[in-house]
Amino acid sequence: MNGPSPLAVQDIMTNDPVHAPMERAQEWAAGAAYVIDRFVPLGEAAVPITDLGLVRADAVYDVVSVSRGQFFRLEDHQARFARSCDRMKLSNRFTQAEEAELLNELVARTGLKDAYAWWAITRGTNLPHPSDRLHAERFKNRFYAFVIPYVFIKDDADRQAGIRLHVSKDYVRIPANAVDPRAKNFCSLDLNMSLMEAGRAGAEWSVLTDGNGVLTEAPGSNIFVVRENKITTPETGCLEGITRLTALDLCAEIGLNVEVGTVTVDDLMAADEAFLTSSAGGIIPISAVNQQPICRGSGPVSTRIHNLYWEKRWAGWHGTPVDYEAVN
């Protein structure tokens, strides 16, 4: 492959001293959690077994990443989380400022410079009054959160070589009039089962359609297709991804022709290159679809966006510094 390669981001995060965590007590090294009303080390975190978030997948969540000690697009993630709560009739007892302070304290407790911060609101329990499921306002919704070291869904070698993608044949994305995909929710068996299908097919990730040949989203990821100097990404049937938003911003910044609209499986199969976007790894180039090569390694557009994404992030773009002095 000619031209630049994707930055070895995982290697940099592992070996560059600027990414080294702050010194903290060993009990917090693996991660920190907030369960309903208290902070606990990750290993002590648990969800009550009658919580409808567990037994009914009745919950919404979000994930924000931290790198070099800065949250990335924290306010955008919080705004999406608030929209998810509204769409699923869930109530957050924290204000946006309080929520941000709580997430900051979790990161600060771990001392991590590169972190994955997850938080959720569940419906809570309806016991001993099962009929309360008819009335959202009768529930006491619960807040959970945890922070762990940053998660890559694919490593440096995968991003440089490009992953093999499988378009699911056995599963379709849950229709929007069943579960609104714009709300980041726990109802993901369609996505999870498609990953297992992809594994059986010898692929490394999956993507789902609406059942009529129109692409929606991949597990934990949005998809972009590049063909003849035009970049497209699905408009419906998918989460309003923050990394997707970032890729759209970067395309516009460097003058690439990008469009949010209908993207078909045929468009993907005929692509010059394609990539996924995810908070867990950033930009993930695709080299083959359904065992058919579409690009040799990471294509020039995917590589450019991948590298610009990390370079700008590490320079502080859309960054909110973590206050590590929030805990001692």
The alpha helices in the chain, defined as continuous H runs, are: 9-15, 52-55, 74-87, 96-110, 156-161, 189-200, 242-253, 265-269, 300-314
Closest CA to 87 of 13, 169, 180, 178: 180
- Predicted pLDDT of residue 280: 94
Pull the structure tokens for residue 127: 């016991």
**pLDDT 10s digits, 273-294:** 999 999 998 999 999 999 999 9
pTM of the model as a whole: 0.95
- Predicted pLDDT of residue 328: 66
- Predicted pLDDT of residue 125: 92
Neighbours of 178 (CB within 10 A): 9
- Predicted pLDDT of residue 129: 80
**Please, which pLDDT band fits residue 2 given cuts at 50, 70 and 90?**
low
The residue-averaged pLDDT of 66-92 equals: 98
Phi, psi of 270 (to 5 degrees): -95, 10
DSSP character string of 13-54: HHH-GGGPPPP--GGGTT-EEEETTEEEEGGG----TT-HHH
**CA atoms of 232 and 263, how far apart (whole Å):** 7
pLDDT higher than 60, residue 8: yes
**pLDDT 10s digits, 125-166:** 988 887 778 889 989 999 999 999 999 999 999 999 999 999
**Please, which pLDDT band fits residue 4 given cuts at 50, 70 and 90?**
confident
Phi, psi of 134 (to 5 degrees): -80, -10
Q: How deeply is 174 buried, as exposed, middle or buried, from its count of CB atoms within 10 A (0-12, 13-18, 19+)?
A: buried
pLDDT higher than 90, residue 197: yes
Asked if residue 159 lies in contact with residue 281, where contact means CB atoms within 8 angstroms, the answer is yes
DSSP conformation class of 175: P
**CA atoms of 53 and 50, how far apart (whole Å):** 8
The proportion of the chain whose per-residue pLDDT surpasses 90, expressed as a percent, equals 92
**Please, which pLDDT band fits residue 1 given cuts at 50, 70 and 90?**
very low
Query: C-alpha distances in angstroms, 254 versus 277, 284, 303, 306?
Result: 18, 19, 13, 13
Query: C-alpha distances in angstroms, 250 versus 79, 100, 184?
Result: 21, 26, 23
**Residues shown for the chain:** 328
Measured at the alpha carbon of residue 44, what is the angle toward residues 38 and 46, in degrees to the nearest 5? 75
Compute the mean pLDDT over every residue in the chain, rounded to the nearest whole number: 95
Q: Picking from 44-48, 130-134, 201-205, 308-312, which range would have the lowest pLDDT averaged per residue?
A: 130-134
**pLDDT 10s digits, 14-32:** 999 999 999 999 999 999 9
DSSP conformation class of 132: G
**CA atoms of 78 and 84, how far apart (whole Å):** 10
**Please, which pLDDT band fits residue 105 given cuts at 50, 70 and 90?**
very high
